[in-house]
Amino acid sequence: GSVSFAIGAIAYPRTYKSSIPMIADDKGNPICKRCTFRPWASTASVASAKVLVRRANGHIDTVAASFVNGRWVAATKLKAGDTAWVPVAGVHDSYGELNGAASPVVSR
């Protein structure tokens, strides 16, 4: 069968821990007045997603997902013994950012 999944809102962090004193949240909008990396971006939408499928014989397929009725759906044709997951970098947002963690593995 197919694999479907929902992706929640993508929200970028306002800051991160750094030894560089210039990295800080000034609580304003845009996020950072000194930055050159989309300082106004606080959220994004998913542009594309893919699923990896490990077949029972060990072969791995990459299957593109489509956005259908509020969920991402990949026509994986899972059969007994197959597993599927969204890999690291399997989700791209509208600014080209990638997911940093894989999804849980599902099986048939």
Count of structural domains within the chain = 1
99 SS3 class: coil
**Contact in structure between 51 and 90 (CB atoms under 8 Å):** yes
- In this prediction, residue 68 carries a pLDDT of 97
pLDDT(108) > 70: yes
pLDDT tens-digit profile of 3-51?
999 998 888 777 777 777 766 666 766 555 566 556 567 788 999 999 9
- In this prediction, residue 43 carries a pLDDT of 82
Rounded Cα distance, 108 and 52, in Å? 14
pLDDT(53) > 60: yes
Residue 33: how many other CB atoms lie within 10 Å: 9
Rounded Cα distance, 100 and 87, in Å? 9
pLDDT(64) > 80: yes
Q: How far apart are the first and last CA of the chain?
A: 8
Task: Provide the residue range defining the domain that includes 40.
Answer: 3-107
Q: pTM higher than 0.85, yes or no?
A: no
Tokens representing 17 are: 């821990």
